Amino acid sequence: MFTGPKEYILKVSNLWGKAISGPVLAVISLVLLLIQQTITNETTTTGLLKWGAWLTLGMALYLVMVAQYKAWREQWLERKALADRIKGFPLLQPVGNALYTSLVPFQFNVRSKSGQMVVRQQNASVLQLKITNQPKVNSSEADGRRIRATVRFYDETGRELVTMDNARWADSTQQRDRDPSVDITSVLAVDFPIGITRPLDIAFKYIEEDECYASNDDNPLYLEFKKPDHLLPVGKVNVVAEIQGPFVRTIVKLSFENAGKGEGLRALEYSWENKF
C-alpha cells in the first residue's frame, strides 16, 4: 500500500510507462508510418500526420487515467484483503456486565499478641473487569496470544495516582501456589482462545476500612496485601486499562467509587475502544 504521494506517483508512472510501450501506441505509430510512406499528396499526408499526433497525445493522456485507475484499484484490493484479514484477528473487549464487584475472603498471616504467626481472614470488596475474546470472524489468527494489561488510576482532576504496568489476570495461579522458578511473564501474559473470558484485577477494599488498593500480583508480598504504592483515596477513581498483545490493543476506560468505611467498592461505568 502507498504510504505517501511519492509512492503513488512512482506507481502511476510505472504503469503508464508499461501502457505506452504496449500494442495500442505501437499500432498508431505503424499506421502513421504507413501513411507517410504510401500517401504521396503532401497536404493530405500533413493533415493525417497532425491528426495522428493529436490521436497519439490523446491516447497517452487516456493511458495516464488508466494507470491512475489501476494504481487505485491495486491499493483498494490490498486494503480490502487486509481489512478482511483483520476481521479474523482477536478482538478483546468487555461484554455486558463486565465491570463488577464481589465479596471475597482474603487470608493472610499476621503476628498475634503472643508473637505467633496465625492465619487471619478478612472480607474484601474486590473490583474486577471481565475481558472476552470476540473476533468478528473466527479464523486461525483469532486466538489471542500472550495478552498483558497495564492499568492506570486517576483522581477526578486527572492526576495519576497509581500505575500497574503488570496487571494481574485474576484466574492465573496465585503467587503462593506457584513454583518460584516459573517465569512471571507466563502469568502476566496469557492466551485468549476464541470466546474465552478472563477477569482482570482492578482494586480491593476491606469493608471496615476507609482505604482501597490497586490490585495486582505484587500485593500478596505485603502485609494484608496492602502495598503502599497502591493506596487509593476515598471517592471516585477513574481507571484506564490498556490490553495488548499480537494484533491486539484495546483501551478500556472505567470508574468506580470508594464510599469509605463500612461500604464496599461500587462499579460505576466503562467504555472501550479497539485501537489496533
Closest C-alpha to 149, from 222, 193, 199, 103: 199
Residue that the C-alpha cell 482474603 belongs to: 106
Closest C-alpha to 263, from 87, 135, 36, 101: 101
Q: What is the pLDDT of residue 206?
A: 95
pLDDT digit string (tens) for 214-264? 999 889 888 889 999 999 999 999 999 999 999 999 999 999 999 999 999
In the numeric block, which cell numbers belong to residue 249? 490493543
pLDDT-derived band at 111, boundaries 50, 70, 90: confident
pLDDT-derived band at 101, boundaries 50, 70, 90: very high
Which positions ≥6 away from 85 have C-beta within 8 Å? 141
Nearest 5°: CA angle at 254, between 86 and 229? 110
List the chain domain ranges. Answer: 5-86, 92-274
Select the more confidently predicted residue: 201 or 74.
201
User: What is the Cα–Cα distance from 146 to 68, expressed in whole angstroms?
Assistant: 43
Closest C-alpha to 93, from 65, 133, 56, 53: 133
Select the more confidently predicted residue: 179 or 44.
179
C-alpha 136 chain-centroid distance: 14
Q: What is the pLDDT of residue 76?
A: 74
In the numeric block, which cell numbers belong to residue 94? 468487555
Strand partners, 254: 239, 270
What is the number of residues in the chain?
276
When pLDDT is averaged across residues 197-206 and rounded to a whole number, the result is 96
Would the pLDDT of 44 be above 60? no
Q: What is the pLDDT of residue 41?
A: 52
User: What is the Cα–Cα distance from 20 to 8, expressed in whole angstroms?
Assistant: 18
234 within 8 A of 226, measured Cβ to Cβ = no
Q: What is the pLDDT of residue 153?
A: 98
User: What is the Cα–Cα distance from 120 to 57, expressed in whole angstroms?
Assistant: 91
**Average pLDDT along the chain:** 82
When pLDDT is averaged across residues 185-201 and rounded to a whole number, the result is 91
pLDDT digit string (tens) for 52-81? 556 665 666 766 787 777 777 777 777 776
pLDDT digit string (tens) for 122-174? 899 999 999 999 999 999 899 999 999 999 999 999 999 999 998 999 988 77
Strand partners, 124: 104, 206
Which positions ≥6 away from 5 have C-beta within 8 Å? none
Closest C-alpha to 169, from 193, 143, 194, 150: 150
Burial class, 150, CB count within 10 angstroms (exposed 0-12 / middle 13-18 / buried 19+) = middle
pLDDT-derived band at 10, boundaries 50, 70, 90: confident
Select the more confidently predicted residue: 83 or 206.
206
- Residue ranges with strand state E in the chain: 92-93, 99-111, 117-133, 144-154, 160-164, 190-192, 197-206, 212-214, 231-232, 235-245, 248-258, 265-274
Select the more confidently predicted residue: 40 or 94.
94
The 3-state secondary structure of 162-192 reads EEECCCCECCCCCHHHCCCCCCCHHHHCEEE
Closest C-alpha to 188, from 154, 164, 224, 222: 164
**Within 13 Å of residue 263, how many CA atoms lie on the same side as its CB?**
13
